Amino acid sequence: MPVGTAATVKGVSTPQLADTGAEMVLANTYHLHLQPGETVVAEAGGLHQFMGWPGPLLTDSGGFQVFSLGNINRIDDHGVVFRSPRDGARITLTPERSMEIQMALGADVAMAFDQCPPYPASEAAVAEASRRTHAWLERCLAVHDRANQALFGIVQGGCFPHLRRESARIVAAMNLPGIAVGGVSVGEPVEEMHRIVREVGPLLPEDRPHYLMGVGSLRELAVAVAEGFDLFDCVLPTRLGRHGAALVGGERWNLKNARFRHDHTPLDPSCPCLACRQHSRAYLHHLIRSQEMLGRTLLSLHNLTTLLRFTRAMAQAIRDGCFAEDFAPWEPASPAAHTW
Amino acid sequence: MPVGTAATVKGVSTPQLADTGAEMVLANTYHLHLQPGETVVAEAGGLHQFMGWPGPLLTDSGGFQVFSLGNINRIDDHGVVFRSPRDGARITLTPERSMEIQMALGADVAMAFDQCPPYPASEAAVAEASRRTHAWLERCLAVHDRANQALFGIVQGGCFPHLRRESARIVAAMNLPGIAVGGVSVGEPVEEMHRIVREVGPLLPEDRPHYLMGVGSLRELAVAVAEGFDLFDCVLPTRLGRHGAALVGGERWNLKNARFRHDHTPLDPSCPCLACRQHSRAYLHHLIRSQEMLGRTLLSLHNLTTLLRFTRAMAQAIRDGCFAEDFAPWEPASPAAHTW
């Protein structure tokens, strides 16, 4: 899922977004609650109407942003009190309130309100956040209107295997239409993330989508798909694009680099995106050097297209029975590590 | 002509630009000379290839930007010496150098290197600039390769009718494929501009395109078309768009205004652009409030589409024999003043 924080994937129009191969898009409850407010979105007929995206949409719970961006005043079993970064107003977010907001936003999938502990955190702190996350999930279920929107639960447990196993068991038992693993990609070493993915993946119900939150890069996607994950979100492709970086052949290229000044070849000849189809590295270099909006948009389109092509290639490899050979284990020698 | 200063109409991809109805696009020689340099553009096969725009392109001479943006050291009959705003390097621009750069850029139309006097300027200063402009035009003609690129001459003369008439007579006598009127929209009162247009328009050769440089707004376009002008360029639609303003019904709307917060109707129901077709005023308001790139792009697309639809409507009215009735004189009572 490309990330459309404020009901827009930054710099990308909806027809351009469709051209990247995107299907499902994520929007941030926290940002939309602050601006324009869920009332405005609901008036428009919901997020699909408001942002002009007919495809599937998922909203996160707002929890992650409150914990990472917010000016937190208090966290307790009731919920979280924080100050709005816009006007300093005191805002209380609880499981009930998150459900209310997400139901008003009207995406296809809402996420349970969870507590995502920072990394590193003590075992006691992670256990407390997990306990609270499970209690909050029950409260989310009690108020959420499941007839009109799917609700996914979130597994927490930090880097403690027994807490992850316990959380996976509790959340899996709730019989939800999808299950997410949170608290990854929060600063832990990449080996830790792989360990969590390998630990938790096999414990999740096979017949429901598995969503690994905030991931990722090509390697992390391949590692997680090998463990049965289906759904991901990451700001990386658009954030890199806005900063002038392109994902090519498994590398990150800084298009500002002088080596592209006279390079009139396509960015990635194998890529069908607008940037690669119609423009050259020299032109993209020029746009980034000139701080032109179009450069940021074209690189965002390219990076989104690359990640989405990669996920489709993995899906095809699974259907063709060659996923293990081509994509997993993700080693320098594996074919995908060369091609992407 | 939408303005693509640095070989990009700001924030607009080439397919989006084609969707606005744009045909011919202007690029700035001054900016392209500084970055990426005409050598890079020529290597790419010229500006069409470099920016991915197959339609007609025109480059200005660089003179206007030197006089309005540059750090001028010296102007004399030889040319202009200025300091590069990028690195402080001394750059000399002469008629010959401007032709050389524009031939390397390879647009379909090059503009003669002229001296555009500021407003207000004394009669003596304007007469001097005109004399120099005519002498420079001869030097441009002496070095320009007319087989591969059209060269348009520029009429100067400020707000002095006899200087305008003299300049028009001299430039018209050169038998060029197109003729431009410069030194308008440089700060003079709008009535002065109308007077110049009405004075000069009828003196230009009927069988060549007439280009009114740096204009404009709907009213100025209508006034100039009534006097036989065919070609215009203006940064207004994209600049307004980037600043959150939309051209609707002859007015400029600031989309940041709170009155649009709950307005879920299209920006302009009669407009076929992406912003109007797929989004609402409330969504555009939200994007502008959130300082999202997409808001700037969508409003630029809308404003370009509006100006280009207006020019097509005038062309159709001329063919239908109702131009005078619908568009000229441009008065509050004329139909176009209501519809646009």
B270-308 as b/e: b if 16+ CB within 10 A? ebebbbbebbbbbbbbbbbbbebbbbbbbbbbbbbbbbb
3-state secondary structure of A118: coil
The amino acid at residue A104 is A
Does residue B53 form part of some domain? yes
pLDDT band at B226 (very low <50, low <70, confident <90, very high): very high
Q: Which of B43, B44, B293 sits opposite A10 (nearest CB)?
A: B293
- Annotation marks residue A233 as catalytic: yes
| Token pair recorded at residue A114 | 């969870």
The H or E element spanning position A301 is helix A293-319
Structural domain containing residue B80: 1-111
Q: Is the peptide bond before A36 cis (omega within 30 degrees of 0)?
A: yes
Closest-CA residue of chain A to B264: A44
The H or E element spanning position B167 is helix B161-172
Q: Residue B210 has what DSSP assignment?
A: E
Residue A101's contacts (CB-CB under 8 Å, 6 or more residues apart) are: A29, A32, A33, A38, A62
Residues A230-245, mean pLDDT to the nearest whole number: 97
φ, ψ for residue A99 (rounded to 5)? -65, -45
Whether A293 and B294 lie within 8 Å, measured CB to CB: no
The complex's ipTM works out to 0.97
Whether A261 and B36 lie within 8 Å, measured CB to CB: yes
| Token pair recorded at residue B82 | 């200025």
Whether B13 and A298 lie within 8 Å, measured CB to CB: yes
Does residue B140 form part of some domain? no
φ, ψ for residue A274 (rounded to 5)? -60, -40
Q: What is the pLDDT of residue B67?
A: 81
Q: Is A227 in contact with A201 (CB distance < 8 Å)?
A: yes
Q: What is the pLDDT of residue A334?
A: 77
- Per cent of chain B over pLDDT 70 is 100
- For an interface test with B, the pick among A9, A40, A298 (most B C-beta atoms closer than 10 Å) comes out as A40
Q: What is the pLDDT of residues B84-94, one digit of tens each?
A: 888 888 999 99
Q: What is the pLDDT of residue A250?
A: 87
Residue B231: strand pairing partners: B211
pLDDT band at A299 (very low <50, low <70, confident <90, very high): very high
The amino acid at residue B192 is E
Whether A6 and B36 lie within 8 Å, measured CB to CB: no
User: Is residue B333 scored above 80 in pLDDT?
Assistant: no
Higher pLDDT, B6 or B329: B6
Q: What is the pLDDT of residues A21-71, one digit of tens each?
A: 999 999 999 999 999 999 999 999 999 999 999 999 999 999 888 888 878
* Alpha-carbon distance values, A239 to A103, A235, B31, B44 (Å): 28, 6, 27, 29
Closest-CA residue of chain B to A295: B11
Q: What is the pLDDT of residue B329?
A: 76
A80 exposed, middle or buried (CB, 10 Å; 0-12, 13-18, 19+)? buried
Rounded-to-integer distance, Cα A140 and Cα A153, Å = 9
Residues B212-240, mean pLDDT to the nearest whole number: 95
| Token pair recorded at residue B93 | 């621009």
Of B111, B127, B161, which residue is a domain's last?
Answer: B111
Q: What is the pLDDT of residue B71?
A: 83
Of B47, B77, B111, which residue is a domain's last?
Answer: B111
Catalytic residues of B: 60, 233
Q: Is B199 in contact with B164 (CB distance < 8 Å)?
A: yes
Of B111, B128, B150, which residue is a domain's last?
Answer: B111
Whether A7 and B283 lie within 8 Å, measured CB to CB: yes
Q: What is the pLDDT of residues A62-109, one digit of tens each?
A: 988 888 887 888 999 999 999 988 888 899 999 999 999 999 999 999
Quote the minimal CA–CA distance from B226 to chain A in Å.
36
Residues B312-330, mean pLDDT to the nearest whole number: 93
Q: What is the pLDDT of residues B270-293, one digit of tens each?
A: 999 999 999 999 999 999 999 999
User: Is residue B337 scored above 80 in pLDDT?
Assistant: no
**Residue of A179, A134, A135, A182 lying closest to A159 (CA atoms):** A182
Q: What is the pLDDT of residue A65?
A: 86
* Domain count for chain B: 2
Q: Is the peptide bond before A117 cis (omega within 30 degrees of 0)?
A: no
pLDDT band at B334 (very low <50, low <70, confident <90, very high): confident
| Token pair recorded at residue B96 | 């010959």
Q: Is A314 in contact with A221 (CB distance < 8 Å)?
A: yes
Rounded-to-integer distance, Cα A181 and Cα A199, Å = 11
Quote the minimal CA–CA distance from A264 to chain B in Å.
6
Q: What is the pLDDT of residues B31-77, one digit of tens each?
A: 999 999 999 999 999 999 999 999 999 999 998 888 888 788 899 99
Does residue A94 form part of some domain? no
Does residue A267 form part of some domain? yes
Q: Residue B303 has what DSSP assignment?
A: H
Does residue A60 form part of some domain? no
Q: What is the pLDDT of residues B126-153, one digit of tens each?
A: 999 999 999 999 999 999 999 999 999 9
Rounded-to-integer distance, Cα B176 and Cα A262, Å = 35
Q: Is A159 in contact with A119 (CB distance < 8 Å)?
A: yes
User: Is residue B111 scored above 90 in pLDDT?
Assistant: yes
Higher pLDDT, B329 or B270: B270
Does residue B306 form part of some domain? yes
Residue A181: strand pairing partners: A155, A212
Residues B173-183, mean pLDDT to the nearest whole number: 97
pLDDT band at A150 (very low <50, low <70, confident <90, very high): very high
**Residue of B168, B173, B155 lying closest to B213 (CA atoms):** B155
Rounded-to-integer distance, Cα A70 and Cα A5, Å = 15
Residue B81, Cα to own-chain centre: how many angstroms?
Answer: 24
- For an interface test with A, the pick among B14, B28, B290 (most A C-beta atoms closer than 10 Å) comes out as B290
Does residue A80 form part of some domain? no
Whether A293 and B296 lie within 8 Å, measured CB to CB: yes
User: Is residue A339 scored above 80 in pLDDT?
Assistant: no
Full DSSP string of A205-239: -TTS-EEETT---HHHHHHHHHTT--EE-BSHHHH
Whether A43 and B262 lie within 8 Å, measured CB to CB: yes
Residue A304's contacts (CB-CB under 8 Å, 6 or more residues apart) are: A2, A9, A12, A17, A20, A21, A22, A237, A238, A241, A273
pLDDT band at B336 (very low <50, low <70, confident <90, very high): confident
Q: What is the pLDDT of residues A215-228, one digit of tens each?
A: 989 999 999 999 99
* Alpha-carbon distance values, B314 to B55, B200, B219, B249, B323 (Å): 21, 20, 12, 16, 6
Chain A residues at the B interface, defined by Cβ less than 8 Å, are 6-8, 10-16, 35-36, 40, 43-45, 50-52, 261-262, 264, 274, 278-280, 282-283, 285-287, 289-290, 292-298
- Identify the active-site residue in A114, A233, A268, A326: A233
Closest-CA residue of chain B to A264: B44
Whether B283 and A35 lie within 8 Å, measured CB to CB: no
Q: What is the pLDDT of residue B303?
A: 98
Average pLDDT of chain B is: 95
Residues of B in contact with A298 (CB under 8 A): 13
User: Is residue B339 scored above 80 in pLDDT?
Assistant: no
- Per cent of chain B over pLDDT 90 is 89
Quote the pTM value.
Answer: 0.97
Q: Which of A35, A262, A287 sits opposite B290 (nearest CB)?
A: A35
pLDDT band at B330 (very low <50, low <70, confident <90, very high): confident
User: Is residue A8 scored above 90 in pLDDT?
Assistant: yes
Rounded-to-integer distance, Cα A256 and Cα A253, Å = 9
- For an interface test with A, the pick among B9, B13, B25 (most A C-beta atoms closer than 10 Å) comes out as B13
Does residue A10 form part of some domain? no
For tokens 């499941």, the residue is A146
Average pLDDT of chain A is: 95
Whether B280 and A44 lie within 8 Å, measured CB to CB: yes
